[in-house]
Structure 1
C-alpha cells in the first residue's frame, strides 16, 4: 500500500508538467474519460447503455424528454460529474452538499422524485437476486433508518477532520469514507453511483488533478466481482468496531494505480503530431533539474549540482538521462560541456 501511495503521489506532482499539452488535447482526454465514467458507473448498477449510447445521448441531450430510465440516469450522472469537475473547489464535504449532489444525480428520474436529496425512508439492505429477478437472500444489512442520520453526521465529521490533518494519508481517509458510506447506504437509491462521484470530488479537493482525464469507474466495471468482494470483506464486521480495512483499501488503491497507469499509457500513445511526448515517471531530481532550465536557458553539470545541492556524479548521471530522453541538448565535450532545454 505504501508503494502504491508513493506511486500515486509522484504522479500527482508530475501532472503539473502536463501544462505542456495543448488545451484541445486535454479536452479530448477529458471527453473520452467522462463518457467512460458515466457509462461504467451506471452499468455497475445495472444500466444497459453502452459507451457509444452514452456518447450519442450526451451529444444530443434534451432535458425535457428521455426514452428510458437508463437515459434519465445517464443524463443525471453526467450532470453530476460536470458539477463536480467544474466546482469541486467550492463544494465542501457536508451532509447538505452530499444531499444536493444526490438530488442532481436523480433530477431526471421521475420514479425517484419522492426521495432524491433525502436520506432513506425505507430499509434498503443489499440483496441477491436470481436470474428471474427474485430475491434469494440479504447480502449485507445496511444502517437502519433511525441510525442513518447519526452515522452520516459522524462519518462526515471524521472525514473532514482527518482530511485536514496530516496523520493519515488522504487516500486512506477517502477509502475509509467510501466503505462506510456504502455500509450506511444513506439514500434509498443511487448510493453506489454517488459514492464514486464523491470519490472523484474528494480526490480533486486533495490535489489529484489528473482524475478527470482517466476513468476510475471503467476500471471498477472491469473488476466488479473484486469490487463487491472487497467491500463485503471489509463491511463484514463494520458495525462491531473490529473492521478489517485491508481488503477494501487494497482494492481501492489498486484501482487508482490502474487508473493512473491507464492515463500514462494514453499520453504515451498519442501521435507525435498531436501531442507532446512526456515521460511522467521522471525522478524528482530530474524534475528539479528541468525546473532550473525554466529560470535560465543554459547550465553545466557543476552549476546544477551546486544549485540543487547534489553530488556531482548524481548531477551528471541525471543530466545524461535527460539528454538521452530528449529533454536537454548537450553542447561541447568533457569539462566544457553545457546544456540547454530542448
Structure 2
C-alpha cells in the first residue's frame, strides 16, 4: 500500500537551487506586501478580473476545452448560460475558482472538500460522476503536438482511491501544522501526490490546479489571486509532464524523488511573483509612456500578444487607452497585426 512520508518526503534534501527559489519568492512577497497595496486598489482589481478569465481559459484549454473569447467573457460575467459541454465545464470551473478566492480561509484540505469541489466542477453537466471518486482504473496520458497520446503513469487502482486521498490529506495537514518543512515544498508535494493518485474519471488536472490555488492561499502565498497560475502552467506544459514523469519513478513503492516536481512548482510560483511585481511597479511612474510599455511587453514576451494580454501586462491603463496606443504604434510601423478579428495579436516590427 502506498504510504505518504510527509515527515521527510522520502528523505528529500533541499538543494541550493531550491533554496534560491524559496529566498527569491520570499523576498518578492515581502516587497509586494510592503509596497502599500492599498494604493494600487484599482490596478489590483483589474488584475483579479483578468486573472480569473485567464485561469478559467487556460486550465480548461489544457484539457482541450474551449469557447470563443466573447462567450468566455459572457460566461465569466454570468451574462449567459452554457450552450454546450465545453461551456458547461468552463462554467463549473468559474464557480469553483470564485469559491476558493472568496472562502479559502474556511475550506479544509480534506477528502470531503475534494469531492465537493469536483461536484461543483461538473454541476452544469449531465455527467453522473461529479463528486464521486473513480470506479474504473485510469491512466495519466499526455496529448502530444501531433494529436497522439502517450501514457505517462499508471495511477493506483480505483478501489484504493478513498483511502489514499484520506491518508494524503491527513499527512499534508499534519506536516503543515508541524512546520518542519517549508510550506511551499509541502504544497508542491501535495499537488504532485494528488495528481499521481488521479482520483477521478475526469477533471483530475483541473482539480489539481484549483487545489494548488487553495493550498497556496492557506500558506499565505496569495499571488494566484492576481496572476493566473493556470496560464503559467499552460505555457510550461511540456516541463510539467517531464517533471511529473521524473518524480513518478518509484512512487508506488515510496522511493520516488519529489525534487523534479518541486523544482518545477517553485518555478511557477517565482514567475508569478515576478510578474505581479512587474505589473505593480510601473504604477509608481505615472509619466511612463504607454507606447513604451507596450513595446517593452512585446519585447519581453517575444511572442504575439493580444489586446487582452496587454491589458494584463499593463493593468494601470484601460482598454480604450491600449486600443488607441496600438492603433498609433501600428500606423507608425512599430508593430503589426497577426491574424484578424477576435484572434488579432500584435508583434514587433523588426
TM exceeds 0.5? Answer: yes
Looking at structure 2, the residues matched to 129 and 23 of structure 1 have their Cα atoms a distance apart, in angstroms, of 40
Aligned to 2:188: 175
- Shift, 1:57, TM fit: 2.7
1:54 and 2:67 aligned: no
Aligned to 2:56: 38
1:123 and 2:123 aligned: no
Contact kept, 8 Å, 2:28 with 2:277, in 1: the verdict is no
Q: 1:53 to 1:220 in 2, by over 3 A?
A: farther
- Shift, 1:180, TM fit: 0.6
Aligned to 1:73: 89
Looking at structure 2, the residues matched to 246 and 131 of structure 1 have their Cα atoms a distance apart, in angstroms, of 27
Aligned to 2:19: 2
Q: Which runs of 5+ in 2 are unaligned?
A: 1-17, 289-350
Write the mapping of 1:262-341 to structure 2, written as runs, cut at 5 A.
Answer: 262-270=275-283, 272-273=285-286
Contact kept, 8 Å, 1:43 with 1:49, in 2: the verdict is no
Looking at structure 2, the residues matched to 164 and 251 of structure 1 have their Cα atoms a distance apart, in angstroms, of 24
Q: Secondary structure at the match of 1:146?
A: helix
Looking at structure 1, the residues matched to 260 and 276 of structure 2 have their Cα atoms a distance apart, in angstroms, of 25
- Shift, 1:253, TM fit: 0.5
What TM-score do the two structures reach when normalised by structure 2?
0.72
Looking at structure 2, the residues matched to 242 and 218 of structure 1 have their Cα atoms a distance apart, in angstroms, of 31
Aligned to 2:226: 213
Larger Rg: 1
Give per-residue Cα distances to partners, 1:44-66, cap 9 Å, x unaligned: 1111236565224313433xx31
- Shift, 1:137, TM fit: 5.5
Give per-residue Cα distances to partners, 1:127-184, cap 9 Å, x unaligned: 35688977x6633101111211111111111100011112100011011111110010
Q: Which runs of 5+ in 1 are unaligned?
A: 276-342
Q: 1:274 to 1:267 in 2, by over 3 A?
A: farther
1:88 is matched with which residue: 104, 110, 130? 104
Aligned-residue RMSD, C-alpha: 2.3
Q: 1:67 to 1:206 in 2, by over 3 A?
A: same
Looking at structure 2, the residues matched to 126 and 133 of structure 1 have their Cα atoms a distance apart, in angstroms, of 16
- In the TM superposition, structure 1's runs of 4+ consecutive aligned residues that sit over 3 Å from their partners are 49-53, 127-134, 269-275
What TM-score do the two structures reach when normalised by structure 1?
0.73
Q: Secondary structure at the match of 1:21?
A: helix
Contact kept, 8 Å, 1:101 with 1:117, in 2: the verdict is yes
Write the mapping of 1:229-240 to structure 2, written as runs, cut at 5 A.
Answer: 229-240=242-253
